[in-house]
Amino acid sequence: MSAEILIIDDNSDIREILNDLIIEAGYSTRLAANYNQALTEIDKKLPDVAIIDVKLDKGDNDGIELLNHIKSKNNNIPVIIISGHANIEMAIKSLKSGAFEFIQKPFDKERLLNFIRRAVENLKLKIENASLENQLFHTFDLVGKSQNIVSIKDQIEKVSNSDSRVFISGPTGSGKELIARKIFKKSLRKNKPFVILNGALLDLEKYELELLGEEKSDGSIIYGALEKASGGILLIDEVTEIPLNTQSKILRILIDQKFKRINGTHDIKVDVRIFSSTSKDIKTEISNGNFREDLFHRLNVFNINIDPLSKRIEDIPLLVDYFVKNICNNYKIQTFKIQDNNYLLNYNWPGNVRELRNLIERVTILSQGRDENHILSIIKESLTQSETDKFSINDTLDFPLREARENFEKEYLITQLKKFSGNISKTARFVGMERSALHRKLKLLGVKDLN
């Protein structure tokens, strides 16, 4: 890749030496002579690699502060710290702050060029990995023909161009983050950051640090999610896991549109569109005192709810074909067709769409060059016996014949109804019954309308 290197040093001779050396090596450069110039250059456009003198005109550690500023915008950007007053403590501090390398003045030119080459390759690798991950996970479409999915697609179109807050509910693995990303990609903020703060993965004591950031006693700054998402969108995932005292601070931020970093002395204005998501019943969490009702009303300007996969069975064949096609394409392997979806339709999918996607990836990798029977055997082995065969022969042995027959008929007819999305006429034709007779049988067995 053709890389651009930002050189930040208050010594004009050093800047020129670095500039000539780097241009001669085939890279382009930009220069900054002090802290403020550096901030301007960084905010104007992030470089591919930054070389920063640890001590500029602002203070002893302003190079570290610039390092933190770059990392807050894009953690993948490699930063090489140089110093004419280096010691072990300074080197350790730089590396702990995320520096790619630390080099002391006067520096060996070949050693520095080697650092730059490695930094460029490191960035290239991260970009390629991110691109692959994006193809595998984040660029998936919201696939389905169920009423729930059709409604969500319509909601996405309507809410994307507004700046309203969005509250997304649904079970784990159902696609809440995908919905948030779809809105982001259609929004006016699509070219700004999309930042995720996962409430379920943070230590209790780190919520405010991760959200607000911190001003440290040595003058360095740790940027929080609010500043990292500046101008863009912040998704607070599993928002119900956030402690009540932090919830009250989020409420105040939403009201005042400003906040202070931890140990900070001045207000920072907020320009962030906030999305929230939860896999819990928010009304139950509110009634149990785990979540502030006033905060919920602030976050819940626009509500989107995605059903579990078990409630939108008609989406499964479409999702299966979609995942097979995309995964085969990403792995550069021959595509195939899963002809028999019965096992997939009868499974309860506790992990929802994520579990289905993982299963299809497993099947795709293990079934290359194999026939349909082998594909089905992989699926059967992957799904638990209790979920795939709820009413096997062994299940019915403890029942009288009449009750066992009724149980089998009930489960069989429910399965067929799911297969045909609750359509009575299509189900009746498939099972070989008159439509009216099927209605009577379902009523007798206590099967309610699946629609």
In DSSP terms, 262 is beta-bridged to: 214
Average pLDDT over residues 265-285: 93
Mean pLDDT of all residues belonging to the chain: 84
- With a cut of 50, say whether residue 386 has pLDDT above it: no
CATH superfamily of the domain spanning 149-307: P-loop containing nucleotide triphosphate hydrolases (3.40.50.300)
> What are the domain boundaries of the chain?
4-132, 149-307, 310-388, 393-445
- What is the separation of C-alpha 38 from the centre of its chain, rounded to a whole number of angstroms? 31
pTM of this prediction?
0.61
pLDDT tens track for 33-85: 999 999 899 888 889 999 999 888 876 667 888 998 888 888 889 999 998 77
pLDDT in tens, 344-376: 888 888 889 989 998 898 888 887 767 777 778
d(Cα 430, Cα 424) in Å, to the nearest integer?
10
* Phi, psi (degrees; rounded to nearest 5) at 121: -65, -40
Express each pLDDT in 7-42 by its tens digit: 999 899 999 999 999 999 999 999 999 999 998 998
Which amino acid type is present at position 246?
A: T
Amino acid in position 249: K
Which fold is adopted by the domain 4-132? Rossmann fold (3.40.50)
pLDDT in tens, 388-439: 444 444 455 555 666 666 767 777 787 777 767 778 888 888 777 888 888 8
Q: CB–CB of 64/91 below 8 Å?
A: no
Phi-psi region of 375 (alpha: psi -120 to 50; beta: other; left: phi over 0): alpha
State the Cα–Cα distance between residues 89 and 91, nearest whole angstrom: 5
Instruction: Tell me, yes or no, if the two domains 4-132 and 149-307 fold the same way.
Output: yes
pLDDT at 278: 95
Q: What architecture (CATH level 2) is domain 310-388? A: Orthogonal Bundle (1.10)
Residue 392: predicted pLDDT: 46
Domain 393-445: state its class: mainly alpha
